[in-house]
Structure formats: structure tokens, C-alpha cells
Amino acid sequence: MAALINLHKFGILPDDEDTHVFTFIFENPGRLYEIKSVESSEVTYGGHRWSVVCMRKEEKFVGIYLKWRYSDGQSAAAMSAKAKYTLSIIHRQDYNENKYFASNQKFTTSQSLLGKSKFIPLAELVDQGEGFLDETGKRVVVELTISKCSTRYERTIDISPRARTKKNVSGFYFDTTTFLVTNNKWYLRVYPTKNNSSGLPAVYLYLATKPKGLSIEMSFRLYLGEDTTELLSYNYGEGAKYDGFGKTLTQPLYNVEKLQQITIGVEVTSVIIWKDLVVPLRAQANIYSPQVYKESYNRAQSRSAGGHNALTAAESFLDHEGNYWKADLDRDSQKLTVIFDKGVHHYQQNKTKLLCWSMTLLSRDPDRANDLDQSGDPVVGYFSNFIDEKGYRMSFLIETNEVSSQRLFFSFVFLITASWKQMRGESFAGNSSFRLTKRETDGAQSGKLTNTFQAKWKPIQLWQFL
């Protein structure tokens, strides 16, 4: 039997550190007597891919490690990720007897595997009487708790006079090479002396790739030499006015005309990706676009126009990792109920996906309506080729006919939000956290009833299994 470490379940703790807990099943740990190490399926957190590694050390011990899996070779030497984490092996009878290792460390490409080498004696791990093996004697529970992840990219670039080959209305500028965060490529741009800024420097973070229909909310700090900006936040991608966002610094560069090199960097503290879509309140397929996201969605336009570039009930939408999903209204339900389902009939390579999500109706006009959370706890659902599922339903404490009735003073447009972080590998998983936002339009006042709700889908986590 092969030794495998497969993702089993997932949770997000209600704290201020964005703590994620990944629970794995370690199959046949006794195989470590014969093989050197076993690596888990990948998970994603903080815009990066991670895995857990169990390794035999000195023939007697099992070491346990967290592995940072950065894949862009061009920028690898300039990248680092910092995370607070705990690796645990769970005792079956007494939680106080758990074995664990906790740390807060910086991962680089030269130090991508960090943890504890002599974590537990191998003989103790595989002895059923010690309490770590299940009743079959073949499985151990391994747990990864991870939080407070940040990403750092830093480059020293040539700004000598001979390198001044790029110029726009803001002056001469210099770009770094690209780097990878959350499956998107980015780069930094610096103006040593920006025009119309009294000779002050400016630094920007740019999105290099153009994700179709996706919006990316980034929180970050920019660095130039010894100077730094405050924490900045900007929505990139779909609907963004500019591809880059940054700040003019408050101090000029010393002796800037003679400078040959300068160090520029960014620290990313948060990434949220979402996709806006439109879901029909009524089954009127003839008014909807025949292709998924044929036309881009602009939130500002939707407030005035009501957003009729809607998906039909049968159409699906694509996330930034190539997965298809769909959302529709349960028109037979008395309460407003949204159905969420996979957007394809068959997953490639017979993958099974596990998602956890919640939804909130957000008001378009807070002065006229309050946000409304879904009823009950977040939903956890499996999506598989081997399960004849019919989607998962999320209900709200509002009547369906109240939403669609033409007697209402205003009609409704809805926005679904979801976030997810993706994991790849032999077995692979993730979670999606959704917010369904309620928006009001004055369509009823003008004699037009809005028969759609707009959905803002924020990818947070997704899991796939073989």
C-alpha cells in the first residue's frame, strides 16, 4: 500500500489573523521504514501553495515540515513568504497528548522546507497502543494551522543614465521583472523623480496579466530604498481604472542624478479575488448573453443600468484557476433561495471538490435597505463525478415574491461574493467563501422591473481530491 497524505477537511477560525486549519489523513505511515519521505497534497493560503512533508530522520524519528512551493523560477530568488503555523499529529483519545510544532518563519527558495526534524519517534507513531493510529492501524491525522501570511518581493534595479530608456508623461521610469502571487503576475515601477511632484520619487505595483472578468483586491506596502508607504489597497483587474497603483513618497532620493542602482520592493498582506456575474430572478433566457462573460461587468454601470448582461440558468462562470461554477435562483422556494453547483458535467481526471461558503445579501443603497446574511451556518459541499448532486441551497429571511413583486417601490439586483484559495496536487482541495449582495435599483419607479441579481464571486478556498 502506498503512503499518502491527503486533505480531509478544512476550517477558518473566527479570529483577526485569518487562521486556516487543514486536516490531512496520513495513510500507511509505517511505509516510512521503507521510503524516505511523504508529501501531502498541496493547499493554498495567502496567495501561495503549501504542502506538509513527513520525513524519516536518523532511521528512528519522523520529522514534520511545512513546504513553500513557489513555482516562478524567474523571480524565485527575489521572493519570500512569512507565515505563522503549527504542525500537529492528533492523538485519538486525548487531545492534550497531541504532538505539535509551532513557529513563525520566513520561507525562501533556499529555505523552502521548515519544521522540526525529530518530531516523534517512528516506533511511537506506528504503535497502535500509543494512540495516534486509528482502529485499522493504517491512518494518522495530521493538522496544519496557518495564519498571518505575507509576501515580500525585492529587486535592486539599474537606474543609471544609460538605463533611462522608458519615459511617459510622468517622466523616466524603471520596471522590475514579474513575480507571481495568487496565480497572477505582477511587477513594480519606480519614477526616481516624477514630473509634477517637486522632484519626489514614486513607486507603483502593476498587474501584468489581464484576468478575464476578475477583480483582485490587493493590500500592500511599497518600499524604495529606506523609505516606505503606508498600507495601500487597490482593486485591480475588471473595472479598474488603471493597471497600476502606488504612491509618491515624501522624501527625495539623495543625489538622485548620480545614483546607479536602487532597491525597490513590495510586501503583500492580503489578496482577495472575485468575479462579478448576473443571475436571473426569472427564467427569461432570451435576454441573456449566450456566452459566459461575453461582456465585462462594471459595478458603477450596473447601479444605473440594472445589469442585463445576465447568465442563463444553465450557464457557468470561470474562476481564475480554470474551474467552472454556476449559481441560480430556486424559483419554487417561498423564501429567497440560491442554488450553487458545479458548472461542468464532468471533472477532468475524476477530481472531487470540497467547498465551504457563506452568502450575504448586500444593500446597493444602505439608506434604503440593510445587508442580510444567509440563514444558518456556512455551507460545506462536495462536488464530484461520482455524486449525483443537484446543487446546494442557501436561504435568506426574505420572501421570493417580495423580491420579484412589481408592487415593490423598488426592484432588486443581487451580488454574490466568494473568495477562494486553490490547491493542486495528486489530491487537492480548497474552500470558497461567498457573499451574496443585495442591491436596489429604481427600475420599478421608472416602470421597468429588474429581473436579475448581480453576483460578485470572490474565490477564497477550493479543494480537489483524486
Residues 135-194: pLDDT tens digits? 999 999 999 999 999 999 999 999 998 898 999 999 999 999 999 998 889 999 999 999
- Top-confidence residue, 111 or 459: 111
Residue-by-residue DSSP string for 4-71: EEEEEEEEE-SSSS--EEEEEEEE-GGGGGTSSEEEBPPEEETTEEEEEEEEEETTTEEEEEEEE---
**Predicted pLDDT at 282:** 62
45-54, 70-79, 80-89, 360-369: which has the minimum mean pLDDT? Answer: 360-369
Q: Where are the beta strands (DSSP E) in 90-231?
A: 99-107, 113-121, 139-158, 167-168, 171-172, 174-175, 179-181, 184-191, 202-207, 214-224, 227-228
Whole-number percent of the chain with pLDDT over 70 = 74
> Cβ neighbours of residue 277 under 8 Å, at least 6 residues apart?
293, 297, 311, 317, 327, 416, 454, 455, 456, 457
- Top-confidence residue, 78 or 428: 78
Across the range 346-362, mean pLDDT stands at 70
Q: What is the dihedral of CA 20, 22, 23, 29, to 10 degrees?
A: -140
Across the range 347-363, mean pLDDT stands at 69
Residues 57-70: pLDDT tens digits? 988 999 999 999 99
Residues 81-103: pLDDT tens digits? 999 999 999 999 999 999 999 99
Other CB atoms within 10 A of residue 135 CB: 8
Distance CA 58, CA 228 (A): 46
**Predicted pLDDT at 1:** 58
Distance CA 466, CA 464 (A): 7
Residue 350's pLDDT band, with cuts at 50, 70 and 90, is low
Residue 215's pLDDT band, with cuts at 50, 70 and 90, is confident
* Phi, psi (rounded to 5 degrees) for 122: -60, -40
Q: Which three cell numbers stand for residue 78?
A: 527575489
- Top-confidence residue, 438 or 320: 320
Across the range 343-362, mean pLDDT stands at 71
Q: Residue 11's beta-bridge partner residues?
A: 21
Across the range 263-269, mean pLDDT stands at 97
Distance CA 89, CA 121 (A): 12
Tell me if 464 sits within 8 A of 431, measured CB to CB: no
Q: Is the pLDDT of residue 299 over 60?
A: no
Across the range 34-46, mean pLDDT stands at 91
Whole-number percent of the chain with pLDDT over 90 = 45
**Predicted pLDDT at 437:** 31
Residues 323-332: pLDDT tens digits? 788 878 887 8
Across the range 245-272, mean pLDDT stands at 92
Across the range 233-243, mean pLDDT stands at 92
Tell me if 358 sits within 8 A of 379, measured CB to CB: yes
- Top-confidence residue, 47 or 178: 178
Let me know if 456 is exposed, middle or buried by CB neighbors in 10 A (0-12, 13-18, 19+): buried
Place of cell 519544521: 115
**Predicted pLDDT at 406:** 38
- Top-confidence residue, 172 or 413: 172
Place of cell 513590495: 266
Please give the domain boundaries of the chain with CATH numbers for all domains.
Answer: 4-149 (2.60.210.10), 159-272 (2.60.210.10), 281-465 (no CATH)
Question: Angle 371-377-381 (CA atoms, 0-180°, nearest 5)?
Answer: 115
**Predicted pLDDT at 33:** 93
Across the range 118-123, mean pLDDT stands at 96
Whole-number mean pLDDT of the chain?
77
Across the range 356-379, mean pLDDT stands at 73
**Predicted pLDDT at 339:** 86
Q: Is the pLDDT of residue 30 over 90?
A: yes
Distance CA 412, CA 108 (A): 49
The most confident of the ranges 60-64, 237-241, 352-356 is 60-64
**Predicted pLDDT at 390:** 78
Helix (H, G, I), strand (E, B) or coil at 400: helix
Residue 349's pLDDT band, with cuts at 50, 70 and 90, is low
